[in-house]
Amino acid sequence: MRADDLVPLGRTGLRVSRLGLGLASLGGLFEPVPEQQAADTIDTAWELGVRLFDTAPVYGYGRSETRTGAALASRPRDAYVLCTKVGRLIEPGGPDTQPIWADPPAGVGPRLDYSYAGVLRSVEESLGRLGLDRVDVLHIHDPDEDFGAAVGEAYRALADLRAEGVIGAVSLGVNHAPVAARFLRETDAPGPDCVLLAGRYNLLDQSGLDELLPLCAERGVAVMAAGVYQSGLLADPRPGAPHGYRSIPSELAARIGTLRKICADFDVPPLAAAVQFPLAHPAVTTVVVGARSPEEVAGTVSLFNRPVPGDFWTSLKGSGLLPEGAPTPA
């Protein structure tokens, strides 16, 4: 298995690379990213065979979508799969601002809106920022923020767009596996086609294994595993590093220490194990990893393609870092 292998995205008719590029960082997640560096990052991903790109209106308050569209403008439209999200509108005075975005555009912010009309407006505005005439996968972003409206009006809007052929797939973008499982159970067939699951199926958190992943496998729902570095914690666990944790709980720090020791024993980079692990589950089609520079993209592709010995995974299970029932790479 290689990062540039193309595989079907569940039942959607779309084909994606095993490694996808998450574009939050290019919107200024934690740190500003210069415009040319953002373009070079996407160009490098393309050169290395990445054909799945995931953005959202809230990423830098429109900045990520704008940069994504510009960088992909010269690429054959049928040669890649582009995902964005609905659930937040970017508008003057939008009140739901987030401190994680460095130097966002002045005067605008996100406002939660999962209404039918709000979703249609969100799609139209995203297409404008992207400079495209269609989006392949639309995620309902953080449906737990207003679950009733998300599972009702937002889903109905996207299902209608799917039926009209305007979008290729309806998806969820979630940080909590039980939310996605509930959403799948409460929507009528055919329901969502995909789930972008962030931070809940990786080397430090396998809560997606409890209910969601078996349900997705049963229903043919393709899972995109994101947050495999646990918000950057596996990349750099030092206090104060840009990993999204103000403080690291002692139990989590101990798990990281055990993981790093086993990795050292087997000469396996922790990030190589992190980016390869989720794909062993039959429900997981692709892993989506963020990057803020060409070097980071190239490094991730190299880690993805690096061989990892089978005994390494056995050792992780023996240490209690992975449950016995978790599938591991062959």
Return the C-alpha torsion angle 104, 110, 116, 117, nearest 10: -80
What does the alpha-carbon distance between residue 326 and residue 330 come to, in Å, rounded to a whole number? 12
Q: Which of 112, 123, 122, 120 is nearest to 147 (CA)?
A: 112
Q: How big is the chain by its Cα radius of gyration, in Å?
A: 19
Residue with tokens 């490694």: 19
Question: Is 59 a known active-site residue?
Answer: yes
What does the alpha-carbon distance between residue 158 and residue 86 come to, in Å, rounded to a whole number? 9
Residue with tokens 């574009």: 23
- In the chain, which ranges are continuous DSSP H helix? 35-47, 63-72, 116-130, 147-149, 155-163, 177-186, 212-219, 250-266, 270-276, 294-305, 310-318
| Torsional class of 116: left (φ above 0), alpha (ψ -120 to 50), beta (otherwise) | alpha
Going by C-beta distance under 8 Å and a sequence separation of 6 or more, which residues neighbour residue 305? 2, 3
Q: What is the pLDDT of residue 55?
A: 98
Question: Is 317 a known active-site residue?
Answer: no
Query: Which domains does the chain possess?
Result: 6-318 (3.20.20.100)
- In 116-226, which ranges are continuous DSSP H helix? 116-130, 147-149, 155-163, 177-186, 212-219
Catalytic residue among 4, 40, 43, 54: 54
Catalytic residue among 5, 40, 43, 59: 59
What phi and psi, each to the nearest 5 degrees, are found at residue 277?
A: -55, -50
Residues in the chain: 330
Task: Report whether 304 contacts 2 (CB < 8 A).
Answer: yes
Instruction: Name the pLDDT band for 1 (thresholds 50, 70, 90).
Output: confident
Half-sphere exposure for 204 (CA within 13 Å, toward CB): 27
- Tell me whether the omega of the peptide bond preceding residue 190 falls within 30 degrees of 0, making it cis: yes
Per-residue pLDDT of 182-214, as tens digits, reads 999 999 889 999 999 999 999 999 999 999 999
Per-residue pLDDT of 248-286, as tens digits, reads 788 888 889 999 999 999 999 999 999 999 999 999 999
Question: Is 85 a known active-site residue?
Answer: yes
Q: What is the pLDDT of residue 23?
A: 98
Percent of the chain residues topping a pLDDT of 90: 90
Catalytic residue among 61, 80, 85, 155: 85
